Amino acid sequence: MPSLLLFQNVRVLTPEGDADWLLTDGAHIAHIGMGAPPDLPMARRIDGEGGYLLPAFIDVHVHGGNGFDTMDATPEALRGMAAFFAAHGVAHFLATTMTANRESVRRALRNAAACLGAQPNGATLLGVHLEGPYINAKAKGAQPGDYVRLANAAEYADWLALNVIRQVTVAPEFPENAAFIRACAERGIVVSLGHTLASYEQALAAVDDGARQTTHTYNAMTGLHHRAPGVLGAALTCDALLCEVIADNLHVHPAAMALLVRAKGTQGVIAITDAIRAAGLATGESELGGQTVYVRDGKATLADGTLAGSILTMDAALRNLQAATGLSVAALVPIFSTNAARQLGLAHRKGSLRAGYDADLVLLDSALSVRRTVAEGRLIYSAVEM
Ligand SMILES: [Zn+2]
């Protein structure tokens, strides 16, 4: 692959407004310019056909896809997931674990630690999002209830020592979980409140302990009551909390998505898929956390009808969120990359199109379908033969 890629005939969405062309040099963005693109015989020219070039998507909450799951704990699973995500515009992701026994979680963490970084022909694995097991069994959603438990220092010290966890989802209403929240925050791990029945006050106490995000906001948390605003009330009003949202129109009504974006602004929302191994596969039976999942009509559920993750992809999430909010693609960019990069401490080189930043790019056509995906200068997906 040549190290120079020149994207032209495209709207380059930079924080300062639209530009006309972008040139990569190896792993980085070399130049962004207006007007006619430079005449560089060495560069591979990519015609954007009047579409959009924006920072590649970052998915911080995704269990699997295309038949693979983080809990498979194999390199093949992470590679298969990474290739599937690349086809949907994702250049970086956090492989997300399920609530499970200590050894199963450890296996998934060790596997991810061994596989960190660029996956062949796929997105780059940034680390793990540990979802559970320190959650509330009464708000477990599709997490297996048998393994839900209180934080245990010996257990999580072992997991944290693997240095692969970048985000955790935890229920803050149990005093035992406060030390875990503080231990994660001290290490720079994003602490996200989820699968929780905490009160508004307990949520704010967790913010004091270092919590900075809410997991699949609206889902599996205390809702908004005007005399008891709950975790949702804290999420909507506390600037310290950024809010994940599953923008599949099933987990959250489009009007509730629009409300979230109005309350938080585009700097305060993070689109995620929460996708499972069934994503990208045909309708039928699948699996999540050892449970049978039934996929039909775009919906993944357990036998009792509980939503079991999603089969959403990030490009579809962008189309859904645009329809729900009426905002421009440019306005939605932070929700799909910049905000996640900031949470993960990567905003100085990822999540925005700027000269010198990593060449993490997604090229979309005017209907917002993915044409090309680039991760650190690697062309990891092309909808057309190159
Ligand atoms: Zn969840």
CA-CA-CA-CA dihedral for 218, 213, 239, 321, to nearest 10: -50
Task: Check which CATH number belongs to the domain holding 49 and give it.
Answer: 2.30.40.10
pLDDT at 155: 97
pLDDT at 187: 98
Q: Verify that 364 and 246 share a domain, yes or no.
A: no
pLDDT at 9: 97
pLDDT at 282: 85
Tell me how far the alpha carbon of residue 314 lies from the centroid of ligand 1, in angstroms. 17
Task: Check whether 2 has a pLDDT greater than 70.
Answer: no
Higher-confidence residue of 122 and 283: namely 122
Q: Verify that 153 and 269 share a domain, yes or no.
A: yes
Tell me how far the alpha carbon of residue 159 lies from the centroid of ligand 1, in angstroms. 19
Q: How many CB atoms lie within 10 A of CB 294?
A: 16
Task: Check whether 1 has a pLDDT greater than 90.
Answer: no
Task: Check whether 364 has a pLDDT greater than 70.
Answer: yes
Residue in 72, 248, 274, 360 annotated catalytic: 274
Q: Verify that 39 and 144 share a domain, yes or no.
A: no
Helix (H, G, I), strand (E, B) or coil at 107: helix
Mean pLDDT of all residues belonging to the chain? 97
Domain range holding 362? 4-53+352-382
Q: Verify that 204 and 235 share a domain, yes or no.
A: yes
**CA 207/CA 182 separation, integer angstroms:** 10
Task: Check whether 176 has a pLDDT greater than 90.
Answer: yes
Predicted model pTM: 0.97
Q: What is the DSSP letter of 173?
A: T
Q: Verify that 14 and 65 share a domain, yes or no.
A: no
Beta carbons of 58 and 43 less than 8 angstroms apart: no
**CA 265/CA 187 separation, integer angstroms:** 28
Q: Verify that 230 and 362 share a domain, yes or no.
A: no
Radius of gyration of the chain (CA): 20
Residue 356 burial (C-beta neighbours within 10 Å; 0-12, 13-18, 19+): exposed
Q: pLDDT (tens digit, 9 = 90+) per residue, 123-132?
A: 999 999 999 9
Q: Which of 10, 92, 49, 122 is nearest to 381 (CA)?
A: 122
Tell me how far the alpha carbon of residue 121 lies from the centroid of ligand 1, in angstroms. 28
pLDDT at 385: 72
Residue 304 designated active-site: no
Task: Check which CATH number belongs to the domain holding 254 and give it.
Answer: 3.20.20.140
At 274, the pLDDT band (50, 70, 90 cuts) reads very high
**CA 308/CA 310 separation, integer angstroms:** 6
Q: Verify that 127 and 44 share a domain, yes or no.
A: no
Tell me how far the alpha carbon of residue 186 lies from the centroid of ligand 1, in angstroms. 23
Mean pLDDT of 322-330: 98
Tokens standing for 92? Answer: 């970086």
pLDDT at 386: 62
Q: Verify that 358 and 241 share a domain, yes or no.
A: no
* Strand partners for 53: 12, 363
What is the number of structural domains in the chain?
A: 2
pLDDT at 384: 86
Q: Verify that 14 and 135 share a domain, yes or no.
A: no
| Encoded amino acid at 172, one letter | P
Q: Verify that 36 and 182 share a domain, yes or no.
A: no
Q: Verify that 128 and 178 share a domain, yes or no.
A: yes
Q: Verify that 165 and 237 share a domain, yes or no.
A: yes
pLDDT at 3: 82
